[in-house]
Structure 1
Amino acid sequence: MDLAIDNLTTEMYKISRILTRSTTARATYAPHSDRRRSSAVIMPSGHRHHNVVKVLNDESDFEAIASRDGYISICGFGSLLSEKSARSTFPDLINFRIARLTGFRRVFTGVGGFFFVHGIANAETEEIAGLSVEPCEGETIIITAFEINKSEIPAFIKREREYRFLAVVPETLEGKPFSNEAVLCSSYTDEEFFKFRCQEGKDVYFQQYGEYKIHKIWRDDVLPCRVYLRHCVVAAKNLGDEAYNNFLDHTFLGDRKTSIRQYLETLGKGIMEEEPPESLKTRYGG
């Protein structure tokens, strides 16, 4: 038993050292100086269709990419890889399907308030992170896409406000670009969030974390929430081998080096054998 604990401690130390040494270059975003118009994001040169995508700052930006019949496409890359999970949030969604997005990677860098509220965050081990995506040259991720009525956008913006909203152009697995841009929830920064989105201020916002002394949303030094990670892996597996292997090999810890496949073989070993709590079995059951 003592040997097992020593091994776990050693693995956690190795991961923590990797996380704290992370110096990988990030995407550069245009400033939010003009709140009346969508900002631009400079994409990696390897992106197939566009080297610039739009930042969606407000409802009018979302409405500008809606289809003629009033629907907006949403990209799913984590829990929304599961149609069951997606429908728990968007019960009236239509056209749920698999797609490909070039020039992005998944990263576990967002501290999830939902995980604390529902008792599945482990603050002691810092297994508290949810997924985001960020531009990355040479990377491609398998995602899901579906449409929601534009009337749902205000609630969507409020619920996902910690993210940066991008308008991107996914493609089918056969390589055909979507005819309409889709909304992607990408990594944000604490500075921008509290300046542009969080009207109640830092002190009130962080009250949701209670006694856990969490004072930062976007972090590179945290590990995936175990229940959430298991759900995402199972959801990806249910989409087929291509989506499953893509998730394992193109999803990373905050160090941007350790893939989820590597993590599940080391420090995260055993996560896939754990069951979600009864209250989350439908939402986080894969």
Structure 2
Amino acid sequence: MGIATGSEGLITVLGYGSLLSQRSALETVPSLTGFRRVRLPGYRRIFNKVGVVFFSRHGADAASLEIASCSTQAMAGCEIICSAFEVPEADFSALYEREHRYRWVEVVALDEAGMPVQGRICTSSTDMDYRLNKCVTHAEYYRRVGQYYSGPLWRDDILPFPRYLAFCLEAAASQGQAVLDNFMDSSYLADGCTSIRQYLGSLEPPLQWQGSRGGYSYRAR
């Protein structure tokens, strides 16, 4: 597979969750350039990865099902709106580290003029692949995951971590109503069947847009 690297040593990255927010992307890679919107046919979002950072930094409860962060999954007939931006090769390692538990793949998106944009995106992996190819040793896995969480990372029974979901919705909303609608309708729970729009409507109390207060409300943990 080729590498999405430009002639000037830039790597094109596609963001689909928190990286829809330019502010969030800049926190990890301050040197990024060319932040813009693209469409990626043949993919959907899915909240099927345990967010280890929710345990290490945000007090998540391992007994709760509300521990999922967002990934992507190839799916015919689906399309997600993403951010795209360029990262210097020398700085890509910071983003790679931030998204260490994902598998990176090369995809071809479409810009607003319908022209192809070749870039890298994080997508779903498996526990076995992560242990064998990203961590290698038990000590490395314990340092990155085991000291915070002992169960499987990729699951079909978990729900979004409320604070993280609220942030993703805010990031999508910052790009306009069309991006927010796309996020809600092309993103699914780990069960692969329930859209985020359906999930939001089922919550008690519902997760709601609080525009006058600058974002989405979420249930405090």
Return the alpha-carbon distance in structure 2 between the equivalents of residues 270 and 167 of structure 1: 36
Does residue 144 of structure 2 align to residue 200 of structure 1?
no
Mapping of 1:179-218 within 5 angstroms?
181-201=118-138, 202-209=141-148, 214-218=150-154
* Residue 84 of structure 1, CA deviation: 0.7
Whether the 8 Å contact between 2:28 and 2:95 is mirrored in structure 1 is no
State which structure, 1 or 2, has the greater radius of gyration over its C-alpha atoms: 1
Return the alpha-carbon distance in structure 2 between the equivalents of residues 91 and 134 of structure 1: 28
**Unaligned residue ranges in structure 1 (runs of 5+):** 1-53, 55-60, 278-286
Does residue 41 of structure 2 align to residue 94 of structure 1?
no
Return the alpha-carbon distance in structure 2 between the equivalents of residues 99 and 176 of structure 1: 10
* Residue 238 of structure 1, CA deviation: 1.3
Once the two structures are overlaid, the 10-residue window that deviates more, 132-141 or 148-157, is 148-157
Q: Find the partner of 1:106 among 30, 38, 45.
A: 45
Percent sequence identity over aligned pairs: 37
* Residue 275 of structure 1, CA deviation: 7.9
* Paired AA for residue 115 in structure 2: K
* Paired AA for residue 195 in structure 1: L
Whether the 8 Å contact between 2:29 and 2:94 is mirrored in structure 1 is no
Deviations 1:184-238 (A, max 9, x none): 00000111111111133244543331xxx53211111110010000010111111
**Residues 137 and 110 from structure 1, CA distance in 2 versus in 1: closer, same or farther, beyond 3 angstroms?**
same
The residue that corresponds to 1:169 in the other structure is: 108
* Residue 114 of structure 1, CA deviation: 1.0
**Residues 238 and 66 from structure 1, CA distance in 2 versus in 1: closer, same or farther, beyond 3 angstroms?**
same
The residue that corresponds to 1:160 in the other structure is: 99
**What's the TM-score once normalised by structure 1's chain length?**
0.69
Return the alpha-carbon distance in structure 2 between the equivalents of residues 132 and 162 of structure 1: 10
The 3-state SS of whatever aligns with 1:166 is strand
The 3-state SS of whatever aligns with 1:249 is helix
* Residue 172 of structure 1, CA deviation: 1.1
**What's the TM-score once normalised by structure 2's chain length?**
0.88
Return the alpha-carbon distance in structure 2 between the equivalents of residues 88 and 268 of structure 1: 33
Hey, which bits of structure 1, 4+ residues long, moved more than 6 A? none
* Residue 155 of structure 1, CA deviation: 3.3
The residue that corresponds to 2:217 in the other structure is: 273
Mapping of 1:1-286 within 5 angstroms?
54=1, 64-178=3-117, 181-201=118-138, 202-209=141-148, 214-267=150-203, 269-271=205-207, 272-274=216-218
**Unaligned residue ranges in structure 2 (runs of 5+):** 208-215
Query: Going by fraction, where is strand more abundant, 1 or 2?
Result: 2
**Residues 276 and 231 from structure 1, CA distance in 2 versus in 1: closer, same or farther, beyond 3 angstroms?**
farther
